[in-house]
């Protein structure tokens, strides 16, 4: 039988980094000492008190049943309280919080909730490639917003043509940014709200790295801007803040009509998130946040080691303000794919080529601060030997 995939699957973007991942795995299999800094997978364990909460919840037979399809009210209340304490943002738990099966799920779903064929979605370039997937499945049209160093990796709204703004229905933003590690001031989000109100564009802000800011900087939530809840939603994940990457739990907060749509589509896609994971997430949100502050200090020390080492080699590198990524200009004029291949083949260091995040990512590679300070120093030494 000839199986014909649906057109929506044919529109999906190629998984750019899968080839690099396979190649890196082949080097490991051959016995090479590979330092993998090319992925966004936290390397430290989930804090012990969260794991213990999960263990206790798993042993409770009450968690062995379906929870409410839209998630436990207690978790939504914990999310709302966390936003009030951490961001000074007020949320109504039942109508302004949606529990997600990981942040990525919501970022793909929102395009399917809002876009029809031919609708325009404004997408950061470079940006997280999974934004593209939801737009492709919805039949929407992406218009890329270049993020350039000279503009602090913020989109220049004045460069967007009037006809694009008239057709735009959705906009993705992400600060602290993957891959650029840039942060956004509240004034930028105020500008965003004004643009969204004028042109009736829904804003989807990916706040996955919202807890990770350096040098005393606390990254700004989009919802802190006046009027933000009227024009959009913010996505958050437990993965980065609490090293819960494999637990697959996140949430969307903000505009209640959009939250309702996300709950509706999830009611068709899923049954319910395992109640034990929800209980552990409540523990994470309601307990002391000292573990988060300690994690940020770990990433800041790693940043200082890695960036300091590259600067000693003479690289013109940008010091990250947030996230656990560094966005490194390639020093020798090579393409990002050529440099990533060279780094793996000659230095046994995995980095992510910038072109995989969009056209404006060319000339850069993304490096994750996801190994020990010792290994990051070694990565710098290895990279230095292949460039100079």
Kindly report, residue by residue over 119-174, the tens digit of the pLDDT: 999 999 999 999 999 999 999 999 999 999 999 999 999 999 999 999 999 999 99
Q: Above pLDDT 90, what percent of the chain?
A: 86
Domain-embedded: residue 211: yes
Res 39: pLDDT: 86
Res 15: pLDDT: 74
Domain-embedded: residue 230: yes
What mean pLDDT is predicted for residues 105-112? 95
Domain count, the chain: 2
Same domain, 309 and 279: no
What DSSP string runs through 53-82?
Answer: HHHHHHHSGGGGSPPPTT--HHHHHHHHHH
Same domain, 107 and 188: yes
Same domain, 109 and 214: yes
Res 388: pLDDT: 57
Same domain, 226 and 315: no
pLDDT band at 64 (very low <50, low <70, confident <90, very high): very high
**What CATH number is attached to the domain comprising 316?**
3.90.1150.10
Res 67: pLDDT: 86
25: region left, alpha or beta (phi > 0 left; psi from -120 to 50 alpha): alpha
Domain-embedded: residue 68: yes
Same domain, 161 and 242: yes
pLDDT band at 177 (very low <50, low <70, confident <90, very high): very high
The C-alpha atoms of residue 106 and residue 205 are separated, in whole angstroms, by 11
Same domain, 159 and 195: yes
Same domain, 304 and 359: yes
The C-alpha atoms of residue 126 and residue 173 are separated, in whole angstroms, by 11
DSSP H/E element including 146 = strand 141-146
Same domain, 13 and 82: no
Domain-embedded: residue 281: yes
Res 280: pLDDT: 97
Res 19: pLDDT: 78
Domain boundary among the residues 267, 286, 305 is at 286
Mean per-residue pLDDT of the chain? 94
Comparing C-alpha atoms, which of 325, 42, 292 is closest to residue 176?
Answer: 325
Q: Look at residue 14 and tell me whether its pLDDT is greater than 80.
A: no
Q: In angstroms, what is the C-alpha Rg of the chain?
A: 21
Q: Look at residue 33 and tell me whether its pLDDT is greater than 80.
A: yes
The C-alpha atoms of residue 363 and residue 353 are separated, in whole angstroms, by 8
Domain-embedded: residue 1: no
Same domain, 216 and 132: yes
Quote the domain boundaries for residue 17.
7-45+290-387
Kindly report, residue by residue over 325-372, the tens digit of the pLDDT: 999 999 888 999 999 999 999 999 999 999 999 999 999 999 999 999
Domain boundary among the residues 248, 270, 286 is at 286
Higher pLDDT, 225 or 332: 225
Res 369: pLDDT: 97
Domain-embedded: residue 204: yes
Domain-embedded: residue 19: yes
Same domain, 183 and 282: yes
Same domain, 304 and 281: no
Res 4: pLDDT: 82
Domain boundary among the residues 286, 320, 346 is at 286
Domain-embedded: residue 2: no
Same domain, 69 and 13: no
pTM of the model: 0.95
**What CATH number is attached to the domain comprising 195?**
3.40.640.10
What mean pLDDT is predicted for residues 258-267? 95
């Amino acid at each position: 039988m000839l199986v014909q995939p649906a057109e929506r699957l044919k529109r999906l973007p190629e998984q750019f980094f899968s080839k690099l991942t396979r190649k890196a795995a082949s080097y490991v299999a051959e016995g090479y000492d590979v330092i993998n800094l090319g992925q966004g997978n936290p390397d430290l364990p989930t804090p012990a008190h969260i794991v213990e909460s999960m263990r206790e919840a798993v042993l409770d037979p009450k968690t062995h049943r379906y929870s409410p399809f839209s998630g436990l009210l207690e978790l939504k209340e914990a999310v709302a309280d966390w936003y009030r304490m951490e961001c000074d943002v007020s949320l109504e738990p039942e109508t302004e919080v949606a529990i997600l099966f990981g942040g990525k799920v919501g970022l793909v779903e929102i395009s399917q909730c809002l876009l029809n064929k031919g609708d325009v979605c404004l997408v950061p370039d470079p940006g997280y490639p999974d934004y593209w997937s939801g737009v492709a499945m919805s039949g929407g049209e992406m218009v890329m917003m270049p993020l350039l160093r000279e503009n602090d990796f913020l989109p220049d709204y004045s460069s967007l043509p009037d006809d694009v703004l008239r057709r735009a229905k959705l906009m993705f933003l992400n600060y602290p940014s993957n891959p650029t590690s840039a942060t956004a001031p509240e004034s930028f989000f105020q500008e965003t709200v004004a643009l969204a109100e004028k042109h009736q564009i829904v804003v989807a802000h990916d706040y996955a790295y919202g807890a990770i800011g350096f040098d005393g900087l606390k990254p700004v939530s989009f919802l802190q801007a006046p009027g933000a809840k009227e024009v959009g939603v913010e996505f958050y994940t437990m993965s980065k803040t609490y090293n819960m990457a494999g637990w697959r739990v996140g949430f969307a907060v903000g505009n209640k009509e959009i939250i309702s749509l996300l709950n509706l589509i999830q009611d068709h896609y899923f049954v319910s998130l395992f109640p034990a994971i929800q209980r552990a997430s409540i523990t994470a949100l309601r307990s002391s946040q000292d573990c988060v502050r300690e994690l940020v200090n770990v990433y800041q020390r790693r940043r200082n080691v890695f960036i300091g080492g590259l600067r000693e080699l003479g690289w013109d590198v940008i010091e990250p303000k947030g996230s656990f990524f560094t966005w490194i200009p390639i020093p020798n004029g090579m393409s990002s794919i050529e440099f990533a291949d060279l780094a793996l083949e000659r230095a046994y260091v995995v980095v992510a080529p910038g072109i995989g995040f969009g056209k404006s990512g060319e000339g850069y590679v993304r490096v994750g601060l996801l190994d020990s300070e010792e290994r990051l120093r070694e990565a710098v030494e290895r990279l230095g030997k292949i460039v100079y």
